[in-house]
Copies of this chain bind each other. A is one copy, B any other.
Amino acid sequence: MPNIIELLRERGVQPTPQRIAVAEFVLTTDTHPSADEVWAKVRDRCPTLSRATVYNTLHLFAERGLLRTQPLREGVAAFDPHVGPHHHFIDEESGEILDVPWDAIRVTGEEALTDFEIRDVQVIFRGRRKRPE
């Protein structure tokens, strides 16, 4: 476990007590906490910590490459009439979601996930859609 304070400094983040407390939890956890879970956990040790500071800190960390924010939780839904299995491409500029045909992509190695009973597999590509020039 590297020194958290050093780690923050390396990324140009001033190591305030609040940020250290957040970092100690969020950068070492195996879970994928929500902002509120981070707040709840860290408040034990830093009771004055506000939600705003948690959000500020998490966004700062993400910006500096210390963590990634993943839209993996339910909350804001996209409704898709295409019921069969298929994949998705998300245009990071426009936010557009496009279907990628199931047959175009092959995913191998699932057998290794012996602890899991897999009911759905989906590949999510992110990037830019090439515009016709």
In the complex, which of the residues B69, B78, B108 contacts A73, with contact meaning CB atoms closer than 8 Å?
Answer: B78
A125 & B116 in contact (Cβ 8 Å cutoff)? yes
When all copies of this chain in the complex are counted, the total is 2
User: Chain A 64-82, CB within 8 Å of chain B: the 1/0 string?
Assistant: 0111111111111111111
Supposing A71-B75, A122-B124, A123-B123 touch, asked if A81 and B130 sit within 8 A by C-beta, the answer is no
Whether B71 lies near A83 (C-beta < 8 A) is: no
Which residues of chain B have C-beta atoms less than 8 A from A126's C-beta?
Answer: 118-122
A81→B69 CA distance, assembly (Å) = 9
Cβ of A114 to closest chain B Cβ, rounded Å: 8
- In the complex, the answer to whether B81 meets A97 with C-beta atoms within 8 Å is no
On whether A77 and B35 interact (CB within 8 A), knowing A126-B119, A127-B118, the answer reads yes
The closest CB in chain B to the CB of A114 belongs to B130
Is A125 a contact partner of B113 (Cβ separation < 8 A)? yes
Cβ–Cβ contact B67 & A83, under 8 A:
yes
Q: How far is the CA of A113 from the CA of B70 in the complex (A)?
A: 23
**Is A27 among interface residues, defined by CB-CB distance under 8 A?**
yes
Chain B residues contacting A96 (CB-CB under 8 Å) are 31
Question: A122 CA to B127 CA in the complex, in Å?
Answer: 12
- Which residue numbers of A lie inside 8 Å of B, CB to CB? 26-35, 38, 58, 61-62, 65-83, 88-90, 92, 95-97, 99-100, 104-110, 112-130
